[in-house]
């Protein structure tokens, strides 16, 4: 039930003013006011990889498959699929009643065009693009994908929740060049985006799409029946955490996606507010090395860092000392997901030994080269991770130059492949969405494809082979065996160091119930009681 | 006078041209790449290049500057790289909250600070004077965001008199509009009040020593009339100058205030655009701010003639 504050009570008592206020209060009861993690700066979830854009995409677009809370794919827009020709031909059929927000039925041709556009941009999509021998609509409700070789993970790829999602758009929209933003936001999901009310940096308005037909099963993360219980969802952008905190306490908003850890004790003291772990996959902290230049072009030097890495120290700095807000030890894959394992994990979970790290560094032949560590000061978690990493490297014996900059500059600096004297870098810290690094296919830090790899550009053919093997793994047991081997190899080659799993809580008014757990804030299943 | 106004307005053209060149060049050499931000971590260098090309960022400096200038001359501020919305639309969406905040702050500040300064000068050396000057020092010393948080805590969270954040357009009624602006205006105005009060006091002290004030007293003119009719009018020129200069202070302060009170104004638009390297938006907003500042200066120059008949253009 919406609360009546002293201010609203005073205003309600204001005679002539009362009627519109009551109407406002009724509308408010049917409106969910949400503070997203960041401003929605653009609205094409295929064009952009930003997490907030993905979250927006999940609201207004549906996907052919959706992951359940066990992180396995289940049909969503798809009614099902048949695999034939030794796994090289998939025929996917659509369930009936699917409609776009303009009322037009969702057809197989729309799905084909959407997959083709997505396949040019997403990492798993690109894999599909390379494997695809053809894709075509068979009729209005069925389409086939022909592959050059079997890919059991196709359904996972089409339902992957991490950016970029394979959003199903009308064919006319999906024909847009994948490197150009779409301008028509006709969606297929449970909420309709009000483009006419779009005020970037301020608020985004979504309305329940009455024509959406949810699946009949119970909701299960991104799968099952996506029942929208609010007529309207307003995303209200608040760049200042203290303001968002005060607004939540004052009942001016209902739900805050990313409360600052420092403010959690304050929020917890408020009996009308509940904090809870929604994104169980969280984010994985990562210390990344540049393989192109000394000193981290030397694997022995990269390995020398491991005995001294204290994941708890990194997590304490990133999200605070409450152990419920992070998981250590964390290996290569997101803790709590099917491929997480303990292969060689003692390298990070055993007793920390700074002296061993110093000794290993000396033996590896470090010659005092300058280590440029990039730090993004406008993102507190990343800045804190960088500060701890810089301190750690200094204590081991590295000559560290910690360079502070804003995120925009950080992103660009990371693309510089030159030496540190030419504007290049040696190491940086970041976080990856837990959903991204839960499987080898979308796990960018383990890529070893040289010039095309993620910033740091390691050339590690064996890791690439293992990733390729994962795509063809016939079952979960095979996937898990590959994941163990990948983790073992990571401790040898050290393309990155996992720093722990960050588990940020969300905060909402206690009257908000049914928040779907597993990943980002989702708006189906949620209701006001 | 009319010819002077026309000359001054024409003089804004070269000023704006220099600002345009400066802003464009600064952004060109500044680090950061919107294409890399858009492409994300999964992108290959070829992907980033394709995005850069689709945004026209791969073209040489002079070509880009020429195209942008040509668009500006045709009244087109361009399109945001990220939102795909015309910059003019984004400015239009954001200008009302910022103008509202500035106007309310200005009215609040002038209506409080000028009487404070006058009274402090009149009661020089007394506790009233010391209290006013103490307030002025406090106003200067405490950052706007601290004042903002304290006000929000007391008047919104504790007393529940006013909302914590947000902005309601004027079209939805004066009450909701002003309700959202009171706390931000007080927070932003605290520095401004301090500045104007100090200048008013200092200028009034000087004027109150003048012979004609002594003559007015000798003629038995009332205290209030001496202060506000005789002295204040003659002290107005420096006060108006400071009020004008303070507009720049307001623009700067609005960035912080809009963030603290989640007001979707031009200040936040500017900061967001800078962080993302949304070049067309940054260029458009900075041009607008400089144009406003030039106009404010013109208005101040013209206001001098109202307070001092000796000034003629």
Q: Is residue A277 part of a domain?
A: no
Residues A76 and A160 in one domain: yes
Taking only the tens place, the pLDDT of each residue in B180-217 is 999 999 999 998 999 999 999 999 999 998 899 899 88
Q: Where do we find the tokens 């919406």?
A: A2
DSSP structural state of residue A16: G
* pLDDT at residue A22 in the model: 58
CB spacing of A122 vs B33 below 8 angstroms: no
What percentage of residues in chain B have a pLDDT greater than 90?
Answer: 42
Q: Is residue A18 part of a domain?
A: no
Tokens encoding A292:
């192109």
State the pLDDT confidence band at B297, using cuts at 50, 70 and 90.
confident
Domain coverage including residue A185: 51-232+512-528
CB spacing of A415 vs B48 below 8 angstroms: yes
Q: Best interface-test mutation with A: which of B93, B156, B262, B272 has the largest number of A CBs within 10 A?
A: B262
Q: Is B36 helix (H, G, I), strand (E, B) or coil?
A: helix
CATH number at residue A343: 3.10.105.10
Report CA-CA distances (Å) from A256 to A132, A520, B175, B195: 41, 12, 27, 38
Residues A498 and A524 in one domain: no
Residues A192 and A289 in one domain: no
Tokens encoding B60:
């040489």
What percentage of residues in chain A have a pLDDT greater than 90?
Answer: 83
How many CB atoms within 10 Å of residue B305? 14
Residues A463 and A517 in one domain: no
Neighboring chain A residues of B161 at a CB cutoff of 8 Å: 6-7
In angstroms, the CA A392 to CA A22 distance is: 58
Q: Best interface-test mutation with A: which of B32, B51, B152 has the largest number of A CBs within 10 A?
A: B32
Q: Is residue A459 part of a domain?
A: yes
In angstroms, the CA A223 to CA A229 distance is: 17
Residues A433 and A519 in one domain: no
Residues A397 and A300 in one domain: yes
* pLDDT at residue A290 in the model: 97
Tokens encoding B276:
């993302």
* B212, B230 Cβ separation under 8 angstroms: yes
State the pLDDT confidence band at A21, using cuts at 50, 70 and 90.
low
Window 399-418 of A, Cβ < 8 Å to B:
405-409, 411-415
Window 236-255 of A, Cβ < 8 Å to B:
236-240, 242-244, 246-247, 249-250, 252
* pLDDT at residue A19 in the model: 52
Q: Which residues lie closer than 8 Å to A264 by C-beta, 6 or more apart?
A: A275, A320, A322, A505, A507
DSSP structural state of residue A122: S
Q: Which CATH number fits domain B93-307: 3.30.43.10, 1.10.3720.10, 1.20.120.1080, 3.40.50.2300?
A: 1.10.3720.10
Q: Which residues lie closer than 8 Å to A97 by C-beta, 6 or more apart?
A: A213
Residues A468 and A432 in one domain: yes
* pLDDT at residue A14 in the model: 47
Neighboring chain A residues of B163 at a CB cutoff of 8 Å: 7, 250, 252
* A255 has pLDDT over 90: yes
* A286, A431 Cβ separation under 8 angstroms: yes
Residues A195 and A317 in one domain: no
Q: Where do we find the tokens 């290959």?
A: B44
∠ Cα A221 A225 A231 (to 5°) = 100
CB spacing of A48 vs B40 below 8 angstroms: yes
CB spacing of B83 vs A200 below 8 angstroms: yes
State the pLDDT confidence band at A17, using cuts at 50, 70 and 90.
very low
Taking only the tens place, the pLDDT of each residue in A453-509 is 999 999 999 999 999 999 889 899 999 999 999 999 999 999 999 999 999 999 999
Q: Domain spans of chain B?
A: 2-87, 93-307
DSSP code per residue over A142-208: EEEEEESS--TTHHHHHH--SSSP-----HHHHTS-TTS--S-----SSEEE-GGG-BTTTEEEEEE
Q: Is residue A208 part of a domain?
A: yes
Tell me how close the Cα of B247 comes to any Cα of chain A, in angstroms: 24
Q: Is residue A238 part of a domain?
A: no
* Residue B82 contacts A where some CB pair is shorter than 8 Å: yes
* pLDDT at residue A298 in the model: 97
Q: Which residues lie closer than 8 Å to B99 by C-beta, 6 or more apart?
A: none
CB spacing of A181 vs B84 below 8 angstroms: yes
CB spacing of B160 vs A39 below 8 angstroms: no
* pLDDT at residue B224 in the model: 86
End-to-end, the C-alpha distance of chain A in Å comes to 6
**Please, is B75 exposed, middle or buried when counting C-beta atoms within 10 Å of its C-beta (0-12, 13-18, 19+)?**
exposed
Nearest 5°: phi and psi at A399?
-95, 90
Residues A445 and A524 in one domain: no
In angstroms, the CA B213 to CA B218 distance is: 9
State the pLDDT confidence band at A16, using cuts at 50, 70 and 90.
very low
More confident call, A105 vs B246: A105
* pLDDT at residue A2 in the model: 44
Residues A450 and A516 in one domain: no
End-to-end, the C-alpha distance of chain B in Å comes to 6
- By Cβ distance, the residue of A6, A237, A239 closest to B160 is A6
In total, the C-beta contacts within 8 angstroms joining chain A to chain B are 146
Tokens encoding B232:
């204040």
pTM assigned to the model: 0.85
Q: Which residues lie closer than 8 Å to A490 by C-beta, 6 or more apart?
A: A332, A446, A463, A496
State the pLDDT confidence band at A452, using cuts at 50, 70 and 90.
confident
In this structure, what is the dihedral angle of CA atoms A164, A282, A67, A512, given to the nearest 10 degrees?
Answer: -110
Number of domains comprising chain A: 2
User: Among A102, A114, A127, which Cα is nearest to A176's?
Assistant: A114
Tokens encoding A161:
């929740």
DSSP structural state of residue A369: -
Q: Which residues lie closer than 8 Å to B229 by C-beta, 6 or more apart?
A: none
Q: Is residue A334 part of a domain?
A: yes
Residues A520 and A415 in one domain: no
DSSP structural state of residue A84: E
| E strand spans, B50-118 | none
Report CA-CA distances (Å) from A474 to A126, A156, A332, A523, B17: 21, 13, 21, 34, 65
Q: Is residue A239 part of a domain?
A: no
* Residue A454 contacts B where some CB pair is shorter than 8 Å: yes
Residues A343 and A197 in one domain: no
Q: Is residue A247 part of a domain?
A: no
Taking only the tens place, the pLDDT of each residue in B10-65 is 877 888 888 888 888 888 887 777 887 777 776 777 778 888 888 888 888 889 88
* Residue B16 contacts A where some CB pair is shorter than 8 Å: no
- By Cβ distance, the residue of A47, A409, A452 closest to B31 is A409
């Amino acid at each position: 039930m919406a609360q009546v504050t002293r201010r609203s009570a005073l205003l309600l008592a204001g005679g002539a003013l009362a009627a519109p206020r009551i109407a406002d209060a009724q509308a408010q009861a049917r409106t969910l006011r949400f503070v997203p993690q960041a401003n929605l700066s653009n609205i094409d979830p295929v064009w952009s990889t930003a997490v907030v854009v993905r979250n927006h995409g999940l609201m207004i677009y549906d996907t052919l498959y959706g992951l359940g809370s066990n992180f396995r794919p289940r049909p969503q827009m798809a009614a099902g699929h048949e695999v034939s020709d030794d796994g090289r031909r998939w025929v996917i059929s659509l369930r009936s009643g699917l409609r776009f927000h303009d009322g037009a039925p969702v057809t197989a041709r729309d799905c084909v065009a959407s997959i083709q556009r997505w396949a040019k941009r997403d990492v798993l999509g690109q894999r599909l693009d390379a494997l695809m021998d053809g894709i075509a609509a068979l009729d209005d409700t069925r389409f086939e994908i022909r592959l050059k070789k079997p890919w059991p993970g196709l359904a996972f790829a089409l339902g992957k929740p991490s950016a970029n999602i394979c959003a199903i758009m009308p064919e006319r929209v999906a024909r847009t060049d994948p490197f150009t933003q779409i301008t028509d936001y006709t969606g297929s999901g449970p909420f309709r985006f009000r483009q006419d009310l779009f005020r970037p940096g301020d608020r985004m308005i979504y309305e329940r799409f009455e024509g959406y037909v949810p699946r009949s099963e119970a909701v299960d993360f991104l799968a099952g029946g996506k029942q929208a219980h609010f007529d309207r969802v307003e995303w209200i952008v608040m760049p200042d955490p203290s303001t968002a905190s005060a607004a939540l306490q004052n009942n001016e908003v209902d739900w805050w996606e990313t409360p600052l850890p420092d403010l959690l004790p304050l929020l917890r003291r408020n009996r009308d507010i509940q904090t809870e772990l929604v994104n169980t996959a969280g984010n994985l902290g990562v210390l990344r090395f540049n393989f192109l230049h000394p000193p981290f072009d030397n694997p022995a030097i990269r390995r020398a860092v491991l005995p001294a890495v204290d994941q708890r120290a990194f997590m304490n700095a990133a999200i605070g000392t409450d152990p419920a807000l992070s998981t250590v030890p964390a290996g290569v894959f997101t803790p709590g997901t099917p491929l997480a394992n303990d292969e060689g994990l003692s390298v990070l979970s055993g007793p920390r030994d700074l002296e061993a790290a110093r000794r290993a560094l000396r033996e590896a032949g470090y010659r005092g080269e300058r280590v440029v560590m990039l730090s993004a000061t406008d993102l507190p978690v990343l800045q804190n991770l960088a500060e701890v990493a810089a301190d750690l490297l200094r204590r081991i014996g590295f000559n560290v130059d910690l360079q502070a900059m804003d995120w925009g500059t950080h992103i660009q600096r990371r693309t510089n492949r030159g030496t540190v004297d030419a504007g290049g870098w040696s190491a940086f810290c970041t976080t990856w969405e837990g959903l991204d690094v839960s499987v080898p296919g979308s796990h960018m830090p383990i890529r070893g494809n040289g010039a095309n790899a993620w910033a740091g550009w390691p050339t590690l053919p064996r890791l690439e082979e293992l990733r390729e093997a994962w795509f063809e793994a016939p079952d979960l047991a095979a996937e898990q065996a590959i994941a163990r081997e990948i983790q073992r190899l990571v401790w040898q080659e050290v393309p990155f160091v996992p720093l722990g799993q960050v588990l940020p809580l969300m905060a909402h008014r206690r009257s908000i119930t049914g928040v779907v757990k597993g990943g980002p804030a989702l708006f189906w299943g949620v209701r006001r009681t | 006078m009319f010819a002077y106004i026309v000359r001054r307005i024409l003089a804004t053209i070269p000023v704006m041209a220099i600002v345009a060149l400066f802003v464009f060049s600064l952004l060109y050499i500044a680090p950061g790449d919107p294409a890399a931000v858009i492409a994300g971590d999964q992108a290959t260098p070829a992907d980033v290049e394709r995005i850069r090309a689709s945004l026209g960022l791969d073209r040489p400096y002079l070509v880009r500057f020429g195209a942008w200038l040509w668009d500006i001359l045709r009244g087109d501020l361009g399109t945001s790289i990220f939102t795909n919305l015309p910059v003019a639309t984004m400015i239009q969406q954001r200008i009302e909250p910022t103008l509202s905040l500035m106007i309310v702050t200005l009215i609040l500040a002038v209506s409080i600070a000028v009487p404070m300064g006058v009274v402090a000068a009149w009661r020089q050396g007394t506790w009233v004077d010391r209290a006013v000057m103490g307030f002025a020092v406090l106003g200067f010393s405490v950052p706007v965001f601290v004042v903002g948080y304290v006000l929000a805590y007391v008047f919104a969270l504790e007393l529940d008199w006013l909302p914590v954040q947000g902005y309601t357009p004027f079209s939805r009624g004066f009450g909701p509009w002003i309700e959202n602006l009171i706390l931000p205006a007080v927070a932003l105005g605290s520095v401004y009040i301090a500045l104007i009060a100090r200048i008013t006091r200092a200028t009034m002290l000087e004027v109150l020593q003048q012979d004609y004030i002594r003559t007015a007293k000798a003629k038995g003119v009332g205290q209030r009339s001496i202060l506000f009719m005789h002295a204040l009018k003659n002290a107005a020129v420096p006060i108006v100058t400071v009020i004008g200069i303070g507009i720049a202070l307001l623009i700067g302060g609005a960035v912080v205030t809009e963030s603290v009170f989640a007001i979707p104004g031009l200040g936040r638009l500017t900061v967001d655009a800078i962080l993302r390297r949304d070049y067309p938006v940054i260029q458009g907003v900075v041009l607008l701010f400089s144009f406003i500042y030039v106009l404010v200066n013109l208005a101040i120059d013209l206001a001098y003639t109202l307070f001092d008949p000796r000034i003629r253009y």
